[in-house]
């Protein structure tokens, strides 16, 4: 309308069509048409005002052609073609499928035009740009880091970097880590809040397993450990909908910035050196750059405004513990991070909650603690409490070599000699047999066991089976009766100290 109004003004000033066309604003043919229309409507009279833009548009602007009334030959398959297009199937494949399966005889151009019309008919997806107040929110994400070779040990290990970005100032905390476990996730949050010197109202996260156990648009399930961390630091968790990372675009940009600006052309001696360089970069280049969105240095916005808007850290840092569902194995142990911890044997086969802090591992049946252990630091270790074992296992553990020898000496010298001989076997460890020999006194008593051991030792056949047969057949009792008979005969023949008179006088 500005162009038409300019041309009409020059016409009212007396400029010819040639003079107006010389300015390259419009062709002479079009200028002649405008002059003819303006003259007919009286717009060229100097003493009259020019009409407003709406009247000029209705008279001069070309009307849009009416939509075509022809029906596409692809209309019968509109729904199917729409589904294929939404699934990402390309047009040539759709045309070939229609020809092959439906006998379609039209050209590919018909399919192309039809798909173009589908795009025009789609409702545009208009994003909503979120605005945040100082101290209101942070966004958190992991990014893939470089493999690092430890110059001290020669170990090559994979890394990730944790990023927490304040949504208002864009100031961030970043840290290289070796895994994405729950313990690492919680520890990074603690160090990030200490880095900022305060806590925000809410934390926007992705659906990582260390934070969300069940991703859902409406009812996500938060990892129990992360839920306790949120309660301890007094922030709320705001997980993004599944497959929608744009909801945390601020930290996504921060991850890309680290990958593009910090990681290239750097070398790291070890993980500590990588984190030292990263923190210096965050406080230097990244913190003092002019941010592309806010047009202010993130560190300046943080120091001037946002730092004072954060909630203070708790006086006593909350305990960060990892919660995990575990099952009790047949050996009465549960497994956590490649280590094993015992629980009472009555819980074999049941599912328990395991809570692991930096120093202690505790198992719970529902809300009742059933076992507590000092946390093991090296992989493959086992922590067993003897009272957690079944009675048979406890007896086995208690009846060691020292106990067996003491018990045998209590029974008698013959029993002790047999046990000593059995322990001296050069081929077999005969602990079970020794415990079996000592166990038969529950049925036969210590006196008969001592007699059976004496008989077995006399014939040079010490062993559990021999002792059992002697006791079962009563052979130990025959030896005792013979001894009593010999002793009794000494008294019946005159007494033990009886001597004939002639022998005394001689």
**Domain ranges, ordered by start, for the chain:** 2-60, 75-121, 137-309, 322-388, 399-492
- For residues 355 and 379, is the Cβ–Cβ distance under 8 A? no
Report d(CA 115, CA 82) in Å as an integer: 8
pLDDT tens for residues 85-98?
888 899 999 999 99
| pLDDT at residue 313 in the model | 96
Report d(CA 174, CA 140) in Å as an integer: 10
Residue 494: pLDDT band with limits 50, 70, 90: low
Structure tokens at 343: 């629980």
- Report whether pLDDT(465) > 50: yes
User: What is the DSSP secondary-structure string of 434-473?
Assistant: HHHHHHTHHHH-HHHHHHHHHHHHHTT--SHHHHHHHHHH
- Report whether pLDDT(476) > 50: yes
| pLDDT at residue 216 in the model | 86
Structure tokens at 57: 């548009």
pLDDT tens for residues 4-59?
888 888 888 888 988 888 888 788 898 898 888 888 888 888 888 888 888 888 88
| pLDDT at residue 121 in the model | 61
Please state which architecture CATH assigns to domain 137-309: 2-Layer Sandwich (3.30)
| pLDDT at residue 398 in the model | 64
pLDDT tens for residues 403-428?
888 889 999 999 999 999 998 888 88
Report d(CA 171, CA 135) in Å as an integer: 11
| pLDDT at residue 505 in the model | 47
| pLDDT at residue 411 in the model | 92
Residue 239: pLDDT band with limits 50, 70, 90: very high
Report d(CA 97, CA 120) in Å as an integer: 23
| pLDDT at residue 493 in the model | 52
* CA torsion, ordered 210, 214, 219, 223, to nearest 10 deg: -30
* Strand ranges across the sheet with 360-365: 322-327, 351-356, 360-365, 368-374
Using alpha carbons, select from 93, 83, 203 the residue that is nearest to residue 139. 203
160-198: b (≥16 Cβ within 10 Å) or e: bbbbbbbbbbbbbbbbbbeeeebbbbbbbbbebbebbeb
**Residue corresponding to tokens 């036969």:** 444
Listed in sequence order, the DSSP H helices in 339-495 are 391-398, 401-411, 413-423, 431-439, 441-444, 446-458, 464-473, 475-492
* Strand ranges across the sheet with 160-166: 172-177, 160-166, 137-144, 202-205, 236-239
What angle do the packed helices 78-86 and 108-121 form, to 10 degrees? 70
Listed in sequence order, the DSSP H helices in 16-107 are 17-22, 28-41, 53-60, 78-86, 91-102
285-308: b (≥16 Cβ within 10 Å) or e: ebbeeebeeeeebbbbbbeeebbe
- For residues 158 and 178, is the Cβ–Cβ distance under 8 A? yes
Least confident of 10-24, 240-254, 274-288, 392-406: 392-406
Q: Name every residue whose Cβ is closer than 8 Å to that of residue 418 and which is 6 or more positions away in sequence.
A: 408, 437, 453, 456, 457, 462, 467
Q: What is the mean pLDDT of residues 305-314?
A: 96
Using alpha carbons, select from 196, 194, 207 the residue that is nearest to residue 140. 207
């Amino acid at each position: 309308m500005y162009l038409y109004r300019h041309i009409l003004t020059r016409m009212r000033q007396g400029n010819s069509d040639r003079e107006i066309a010389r300015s390259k604003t419009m062709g002479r043919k079009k200028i002649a048409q405008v002059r003819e229309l303006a003259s007919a409507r009286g717009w060229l009279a100097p003493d009259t005002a020019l009409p407003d833009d709406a009247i000029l548009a209705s008279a001069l602007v070309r009307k849009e052609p009416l939509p075509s009334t022809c029906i596409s030959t692809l209309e019968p398959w509109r729904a199917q073609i729409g589904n294929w297009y939404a699934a990402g199937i390309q047009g040539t494949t759709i045309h070939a499928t229609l020809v092959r399966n439906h006998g379609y005889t039209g050209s590919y151009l018909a399919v192309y035009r039809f798909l173009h019309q589908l795009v025009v008919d789609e409702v545009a997806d208009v994003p909503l740009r979120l605005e945040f107040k100082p101290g209101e929110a942070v966004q958190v994400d992991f990014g893939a880091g470089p493999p690092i070779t430890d110059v001290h040990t020669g170990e090559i290990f994979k890394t990730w970097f944790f990023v927490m970005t304040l949504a208002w100032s864009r100031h961030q905390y970043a840290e290289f880590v070796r895994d994405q476990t729950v313990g690492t996730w919680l520890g990074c949050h603690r160090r990030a809040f200490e880095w900022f010197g305060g806590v925000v109202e809410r934390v926007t996260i992705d659906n990582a397993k260390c934070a969300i156990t069940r991703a859902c648009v409406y009812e996500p399930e938060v990892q129990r450990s992360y839920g306790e961390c949120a309660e301890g630091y007094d922030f709320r968790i705001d997980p993004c909908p599944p497959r929608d990372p744009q909801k945390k675009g601020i930290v996504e940009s921060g991850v890309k910035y680290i990958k593009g600006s910090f990681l290239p052309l750097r070398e790291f001696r070890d993980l500590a050196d990588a984190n030292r360089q990263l923190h210096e970069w965050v406080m230097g280049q990244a913190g003092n750059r002019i941010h592309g969105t806010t047009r202010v240095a993130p560190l300046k916005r943080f120091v001037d405004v946002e730092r004072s808007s954060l909630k203070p850290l708790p006086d006593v840092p909350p305990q960060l513990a990892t919660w995990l569902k575990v099952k009790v194995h047949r050996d009465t142990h549960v497994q956590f991070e490649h280590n094993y911890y015992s629980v009472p044997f009555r819980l074999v086969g049941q599912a328990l909650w395991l809570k692991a802090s930096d120093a202690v591992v505790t198992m719970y049946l529902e809300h009742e603690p059933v076992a507590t252990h000092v946390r093991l630091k090296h992989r493959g270790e086992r922590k067993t409490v003897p009272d957690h074992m079944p009675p048979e296992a406890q007896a086995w553990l208690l009846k060691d070599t020292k106990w067996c020898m003491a018990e045998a000496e209590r029974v008698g010298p013959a029993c002790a000699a047999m046990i000593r001989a059995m322990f001296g076997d050069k081929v077999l460890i005969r602990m079970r047999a020794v415990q079996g020999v000592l166990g038969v006194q529950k049925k036969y008593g210590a006196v008969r066991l001592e007699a059976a051991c004496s008989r077995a030792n006399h014939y040079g056949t010490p062993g559990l089976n021999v002792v059992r047969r002697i006791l079962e057949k009563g052979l130990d009792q025959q030896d005792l009766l013979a001894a009593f008979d010999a002793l009794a005969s000494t008294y019946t023949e005159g007494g033990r100290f009886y001597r004939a008179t002639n022998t005394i006088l001689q």
